[in-house]
Structure 1
Amino acid sequence: MLRKGRLSGKMDKLASEYTSSMRDDPRIFDPVVQINAAHVLMLAEQGILEKPASKKIISALSSLQKTGIAGLDLKPELEDLHMAVEKYVIGKAGEKVGGKLHTAKSRNDQVATAIRMVLRSEILDIQEETLELVKALVRLAARNTKTAMPGYTHLQVAQPTTFAHHLTAYAQRFSRDISRLGEAYERVNFCPMGACALAGTGFPISRARVSELLGFDRVITNTMDAVSSRDSALEAMSGLAILMSGLSR
């Protein structure tokens, strides 16, 4: 870790800002708090963390959830949101208890999980909005089944058609976009938690339990793939690019 390595001097401000993700991290605030709470609950259930300690940590996380991101110290020196949350919990529960928040997990599996949680939520939102567009197009088409209009091909008038025919062409296309994003969602909704830095942990954790608590369908079984892959985000981006190409028309 750059900030606690072999260098004894204070990090240059420019270098600190360059290596910090604080500017972008607010988007994953809610998932990070939820991930930490689910992880601590699992640790308590597995007997890895004492229940009094787990209650204090979850109480601190609950307090943070109510306060919101404004309750965090987001200085670049802390590097990222994950460290800021840990600092907050330690401030509330004390270092001896709060420091146990990091037991059997890494920022690597945590950020990979948070990204998937944000992405799946946004996919569902976009699907819902696109479905509303399809419904609006179908309603308008129903009122224009006899409204004649010219159909074009190669920028020239080709055949007569109706406005309803024109509108439902878009409705059908956008329906495929909804389906395409749904298929991407299926691969996004896999849980990386428990992979830790890349090779798991010696603690007897339950990856399935954390996955269940966070609403995932299943865990990503290969821990290295869990923390290193971002292809699910690329797949979602591809679906969104195709959707936008239709909307641009």
Structure 2
Amino acid sequence: MASGHKLWGGRFTGETDPLMTAYNESIHYDKRMFNADIDGSKAYAKALKQRGILVDEELEAILTGLETVRDEWKQGKFVLQPSDEDIHTANERRLGEVIGTGIAGKLHTGRSRNDQVATDMRLWLREEMKDVKKILINLLQVFAARAEKEIDIVMPGYTHLQRAQPIRWSHFLLSHALPITTDLVRLTEVYTRVNQLPLGAGALAGNPFAVDREFLRKELGFDGIIMNSMNAVADRDFVIEFMFWSSMVMSHISRIAEDLIIYSTSEFSFVTLSDAYATGSSIMPQKKNPDSLELLRGKSGRAFGNMAGFMMSVKGIPSTYNKDLQEDKEPLFDSLKTVKDSIQILTGVLSTLTVHPDKIAKSLTADLLATDLAEYLVRKGVPFRQTHHISGSAVRMAEERGTTIDQLSVEDFKSLHPLYEDDVAAVFDYEASVEKRCAIGGTAKSCVVDQIKNIRNIIARYKD
């Protein structure tokens, strides 16, 4: 292809509106896929050689030339030209300059930018997903390590942001780690659907030179081949699915960020963020703002917006390739960067977070044990619906006296029900309360240890 000519320019003689040229091009953001584009072209060149379209010398020239182009990208020496509307155009144009347009021009035989871009995106995304998997596992390792180290800290558990029952701090941490393990499993499932080969589908009808798509699959490391050529060039479900995955993991990140924002306030003072993940106020010198957590919370909306926006672009597109599909790249690239950065920021926040067990202990109040007071009678055969009412009466009695339920006397409790005995005072023990929650998934130490083991088993299963 001569420098300055469009890949599609043979039919057109008029000049394109300069604004339309800029509106149409994607090189400024899809150039990040240069590696994927070169890998796909090398594999396709080998497939053309198998069909006798290239001879040995031509194949070698193309492979060597493509590596030269790759090195220029890596070294920051690749010089873009006005005609380079996308990464495919740029690489083909430069390959022609390096080895001559006669040989380079054969590379696109039977191949369309439609199947080329679909292949490049899948190649690029699957490599990025491998990096996401690594940093997600690192985050889970931090969760597990903190949970193991701080397992003896007992804190109030909350529903409706009201103190509810005592739990272990580690149980709280692991309640957020578990959705992340689901995200890890889900990521590997998405990967299998990303890793399907479109190359060899041509523009929409298939390849006219009978290239060996099974060879291409093996050469490029895909798990399978997209069996319908029209679907191969049209499908962007893999983009939407990854952006959905990004939205899910960001929603999980947002929820723990919200909890930590609350717990870091002076009203709670359960935790303090490292200076590396907080900022000060421009006017109030006493403040330490949890900007990292607020940004994590805010960027969850950004990730969802990327997915929703592209789904609206896709929903009305007719069959096969349409230029609307170019709108897949910017939201995908942005979602990928957002989720990678966010996972790493949360990992940094958690690994440097200071927990204040003394302040957490002071927040434990006897009303957290009202359910335990009801369960005391359940163990003596009284139906829970009755004991719930009786325990509520004890709470009301304490409130009317301006005291707490643990300061009521044994006689007070006996006045509410005769089965209350002297040992009722043992109910008001936070450690004993959490240890009673010993069914699988509970907050007893043995259950929390099992949760940590479970997370580490999942990490080991998906690490490689």
Task: Please indicate the TM-score interval, normalised by the length of the shorter structure.
Answer: over 0.9
User: Residues 73 and 84 of structure 1 are in contact (CA less than 8 Å); yes or no, is this contact kept in structure 2?
Assistant: no
User: Residues 48 and 54 of structure 2 are in contact (CA less than 8 Å); yes or no, is this contact kept in structure 1?
Assistant: yes
Could you tell me how far apart the structure 2 residues matched to 1:141 and 1:83 are? 52
Alignment-derived partner of residue 110 in structure 2: 104
Could you tell me how far apart the structure 2 residues matched to 1:41 and 1:83 are? 20
Query: Does the alignment pair 1:17 with 2:22?
Result: yes
Deviation at 1:204, TM superposition (A): 2.3
Could you tell me how far apart the structure 1 residues matched to 2:188 and 2:47 are? 29
* Deviates further, 17-26 or 157-166: 17-26
Query: Could you give the per-residue CA deviations for residues 142-162 of structure 1, whole angstroms, max 9, x where no partner exists?
Result: 011111111000110000001
Query: Could you give the per-residue CA deviations for residues 148-181 of structure 1, whole angstroms, max 9, x where no partner exists?
Result: 1110001100000011111111121100001111
* TM-score calculated relative to the size of structure 2: 0.52
* Deviates further, 223-232 or 203-212: 203-212
User: Residues 126 and 195 of structure 2 are in contact (CA less than 8 Å); yes or no, is this contact kept in structure 1?
Assistant: yes
Could you tell me how far apart the structure 2 residues matched to 1:7 and 1:57 are? 28
Could you tell me how far apart the structure 1 residues matched to 2:102 and 2:8 are? 21
Count the aligned residue pairs.
Answer: 249
Alignment-derived partner of residue 51 in structure 1: 56
Alignment-derived partner of residue 119 in structure 2: 113
Deviation at 1:76, TM superposition (A): 4.2
Give the 3 Å change call, closer, same or farther, for CA 28–2 of structure 1 in structure 2: closer
User: Residues 200 and 206 of structure 2 are in contact (CA less than 8 Å); yes or no, is this contact kept in structure 1?
Assistant: yes
Q: CA RMSD in A?
A: 1.7
Could you tell me how far apart the structure 1 residues matched to 2:141 and 2:176 are? 11
Which of structures 1 and 2 has the bigger CA Rg? Answer: 2
Deviation at 1:96, TM superposition (A): 1.6
Alignment-derived partner of residue 201 in structure 2: 195
Match of 1:167 among 173, 184, 193: 173
Query: Does the alignment pair 1:180 with 2:186?
Result: yes
Which contiguous aligned blocks of 4+ residues in structure 1 show a shift greater than 3 angstroms?
Answer: 69-73
Partner SS for 2:200: coil
Partner SS for 1:126: helix
Could you tell me how far apart the structure 2 residues matched to 1:184 and 1:6 are? 40
Deviation at 1:7, TM superposition (A): 4.2
* Deviates further, 3-12 or 57-66: 3-12
In structure 1, runs of 5+ residues without a counterpart are: none
Deviation at 1:190, TM superposition (A): 0.2
Alignment-derived partner of residue 93 in structure 1: 99
Could you tell me how far apart the structure 1 residues matched to 2:14 and 2:48 are? 37
Alignment-derived partner of residue 41 in structure 1: 46
* TM-score calculated relative to the size of structure 1: 0.94
Could you tell me how far apart the structure 1 residues matched to 2:53 and 2:212 are? 11
Q: Which amino acid aligns with 1:36?
A: S
In structure 2, runs of 5+ residues without a counterpart are: 1-5, 256-464
Q: Which amino acid aligns with 2:205?
A: A
